[in-house]
Structure 1
Amino acid sequence: MGAKGTEQIVLLTIDRETETVVFTRSDGKEARFPLERPLFQEASALTKLHVSGAFDVMVAETTYGDAISFELPTAAGAEPLQDRLVVYLDQNKWSEVANSLYAPEKVSTDSRSAAARLIQLVRERRIVLPASAGHYAETGKRFSTEKRYQLALTILQQSRGWQMRDPLEVRQQEILSALLRHSGDLSSERASAVFTLAPDSLYSAARGYQGYVPPAGLPPEQALALTALTNASASIDTMLDAERVGPGVEGNWAAHNQRFSDWLDGEPRDTQQKRKSIDAFLLSDIGREATRVAHAMQMSPAQFDTWIRQNATKDITSLPSLGLFREVFHTRHLNRATTWRINDCTDMMYLSCAAAYADFVVCERHMRQHLSHGLRRMKSGTQVFRHLHEVVDAIEKRWAQPERP
């Protein structure tokens, strides 16, 4: 505690039950103010929000008595990994972690031990287990309200506010970097971190998403704090929503790829010829994304046309996320009699983005095979595993290795 007269606000609490905001000082004194309007919907699972005086941590309490701690971005940085390893878990692996906590009889002894070790490493701030929009979407579709809450709570508690940036935004940033290099303008190449605490990172404008805009006139630090707090509380509230999310509208992506795969199976071409056909198909698939990026950077139509015809395939090969997506895309289309399903798009998008930038990825068998093959072709150091205990062993092995100069 500082000298008299130097007390500071150390805690801000928004209390749903009393409909008050409580400011707690370092000397223990409190000041209470009534909320001008309710901040929680009646069906919300949140009952209290506690925010540190430095606005770098928020703890949310639920109506079931659970607590969720989120790290918050500050003016000092939105990606304070501080040497923590990034471990991305596919949805089925998050389910395994949740089962180890709430239905241990459903998972093996190895999985329970590995899940406990991962949770311990998160608590010790040695690893990060980021959440993605894919996790939010898949969790919301669970039929059982109880299991949906348990899975959502597990993801929220162990991700601690860390999230993977929308893969569509990551792809567009990569395309932008390629176009900037093609045009010779490297001065404006500023890619955002893929794993971040930054607000409004789960969803991008490419999906039509519009984030929260703080009131005009706020100093930058206060605007960031308010935006981060709003974003974090909304993310938690959304994930814990008692109402199940519907399946949504299915696009024609899977059917489109199925038709192309079936056509390719019937073509008397060798592998290299088929690869060229797949590249052309991929370019037609991402063409609109690339066009929007080129338009935003005011690239001339002639320059863009030259890039598409002469440089696009080579450049895409070298891009971390989009390049890995391309490799998985090739592998799937080259496999004869491949069956395409709507969730293949989600798996390929999110897992190729994660594997391009994370230290470790854990996912189911067939995607692990495709990703590992693609990572080898791209000479990437990311490791992909099927089982939780494998990634724990790999983490321990990584730390046991002597540091390289």
Structure 2
Amino acid sequence: MNQKSDPFVVMVTIDRETSSVVLTRSDGKAARAPLTDLPFATTSLLDRLHCSPLGGLLAVTRDGDDIAFELPTQDRTEPLDNRLVVYLDQNMWRPVSEALQGGDVVSGEDRVAAEQLADWVRNRLIVMPASAGHYYETTKWSVSDKRYSLGLTILQLSRGWQMRDPLQVREDEILEMFRCWKGEVDSARVPSVFTLAPNALHSPSRGVTAYTPPSDFSADDAFQLVALTSASTYIDVMLDAEHVEPGPETGWAESNQRYSNWLDAQDWDSQQKRRSIDAFLFSDFQRELAEGAHAAGLSLQEVQQWGQKQPAQSFAVQPATGLYREMFHNRHLNMGTKWRRNDLTDMIYLSCAAGYADFVVCERHMREPLGRGIRRLGLPAKVFRRLSEAVLAIGDALEQAGASG
């Protein structure tokens, strides 16, 4: 018999209801084996996991909802294939969820916009990545039915695409900044900010330990198992029946409020205030700067030279970190700014998204400093505060890309 005509496995299914794993072959035949240790916690809302060796994961919830994730391969973890990247702030996912899940509280414009975004995702024209910020904000919501609907929408439209942890992006950009300063590279932009790579939502600096596959697996099989474990875990966590308790207060908002109040009282011009803000900001970056300089191979003398030549200017070459600095400046320079606990999350994730995405949609109080920063740094991202306005611009961009293609 010709080897090419031999049946092969096209689907592996973990079935919670029957406590079994099912192998489906290309000829339609299936084999079922019992599972004594199911990978579902009692609070998990997943019912079945379907994985194709050809690529892709389909999760089915107990309510019968489907979630399809793209899966990476070892040599292709960012297969954007010319798709535009559209990043929605957390508060913009809610009207999209309401519109697609049958809610009645969204406007007609938002409903049309949400349906158009979903259609573009299905037709592989855009990707709408999820971030750790989305997971954090969604899973702590105590209203279970609303939390499920919102999480389901984010999962269904992100399709496994993630924005890499902004803290990791910051570390990578600072390293590239120092390499630029030494003349080793021409740009501080980093690759793979939007990715299918496993475990990209949280950097190692957060203390997250990734799953380790068996040592006797081949490199390809080990990567596929890690990717599948990561994707299924993200889905399971987002939809868990129990909400996650918010973490403790860090004191970040209070510290910035005290500093803003103090800065407002100083009789300084804007440049003097900017230098003071940089000193306040760089105190938060001490570890990243030290580790980046060491990784770039800078000597103590070279670090001193860098510090003497207006290091703040070096941040302008970093898309995400430079934009975060601009937002930080804008908010502290704005007299009477009121700092909220969520401001840190918004600024970190939105600056990372706008540093690398094509389109960002967020609420007004973040859109304005974000837009100013984008203009100052000359970044190409377009930022909107209404879904309908963003969809019009995305449509124009897709039309232009189609015409040029």
TM interval, shorter chain, is: over 0.9
State the partner residue of 1:11. Answer: 11
TM-score, normalised to structure 2, is 0.95
Name the aligned partner's letter for residue 357 of structure 1.
Y
Deviates more, 1:215-224 or 1:81-90: 215-224
Name the aligned partner's letter for residue 48 of structure 1.
R
State the partner residue of 1:84. Answer: 83
State the partner residue of 2:192. Answer: 193
State the partner residue of 1:38. Answer: 38
Question: CA RMSD for the aligned pairs?
Answer: 2.0
Quick one: distance in 2 between partners of 1:241 and 1:152? 10
User: Percentage identity across aligned positions?
Assistant: 52
State the partner residue of 1:160. Answer: 159
In the alignment, is the contact (CA less than 8 A) between 1:183 and 1:303 conserved in 2? no
Within the alignment, does 1:272 sit opposite 2:258 as a pair? no
State the partner residue of 1:322. Answer: 321
Quick one: distance in 2 between partners of 1:4 and 1:327? 58
State the partner residue of 2:70. Answer: 71
Name the aligned partner's letter for residue 232 of structure 2.
S
Change (3 A) 1:372 1:52: same
Deviates more, 1:60-69 or 1:15-24: 15-24
Question: What's the CA shift for 1:41?
Answer: 1.2
Question: What's the CA shift for 1:256?
Answer: 1.5
Quick one: distance in 2 between partners of 1:80 and 1:286? 32
Quick one: distance in 1 between partners of 2:333 and 2:313? 19
Question: What's the CA shift for 1:303?
Answer: 2.4
State the partner residue of 1:232. Answer: 231
Change (3 A) 1:333 1:241: same
Change (3 A) 1:33 1:174: same
In the alignment, is the contact (CA less than 8 A) between 2:40 and 2:46 conserved in 1? yes
State the partner residue of 1:263. Answer: 262
State the partner residue of 1:115. Answer: 114
Change (3 A) 1:103 1:18: closer
Name the aligned partner's letter for residue 289 of structure 1.
E
Q: What is the number of residues matched between the two proteins?
A: 403
Quick one: distance in 1 between partners of 2:122 and 2:206? 33
Deviates more, 1:177-186 or 1:159-168: 177-186
Name the aligned partner's letter for residue 160 of structure 2.
G
Name the aligned partner's letter for residue 47 of structure 1.
D
Deviates more, 1:383-392 or 1:299-308: 299-308
Quick one: distance in 2 between partners of 1:220 and 1:401? 41
State the partner residue of 2:139. Answer: 140
State the partner residue of 1:222. Answer: 221
State the partner residue of 1:25. Answer: 25
Name the aligned partner's letter for residue 154 of structure 2.
I
Q: Deviations over 1:247-270 (max 9, x none)?
A: 211112112211211111111111
In the alignment, is the contact (CA less than 8 A) between 2:175 and 2:295 conserved in 1? no
In the alignment, is the contact (CA less than 8 A) between 1:9 and 1:23 conserved in 2? yes
Question: What's the CA shift for 1:348?
Answer: 0.3
Change (3 A) 1:399 1:185: closer
Deviates more, 1:353-362 or 1:5-14: 5-14
In the alignment, is the contact (CA less than 8 A) between 1:110 and 1:389 conserved in 2? yes
Name the aligned partner's letter for residue 150 of structure 2.
L
Map residues 240-255 of structure 1 onto 2, 5 A cutoff: 240-255=239-254
Quick one: distance in 1 between partners of 2:274 and 2:99? 43
Quick one: distance in 2 between partners of 1:167 and 1:75? 23
In the alignment, is the contact (CA less than 8 A) between 2:57 and 2:69 conserved in 1? yes
Question: What's the CA shift for 1:298?
Answer: 4.8
In the alignment, is the contact (CA less than 8 A) between 1:129 and 1:162 conserved in 2? yes
Question: What's the CA shift for 1:104?
Answer: 3.1
Quick one: distance in 2 between partners of 1:68 and 1:74? 19
Name the aligned partner's letter for residue 29 of structure 2.
K
Name the aligned partner's letter for residue 286 of structure 1.
F
Question: What's the CA shift for 1:6?
Answer: 2.0
State the partner residue of 1:336. Answer: 335
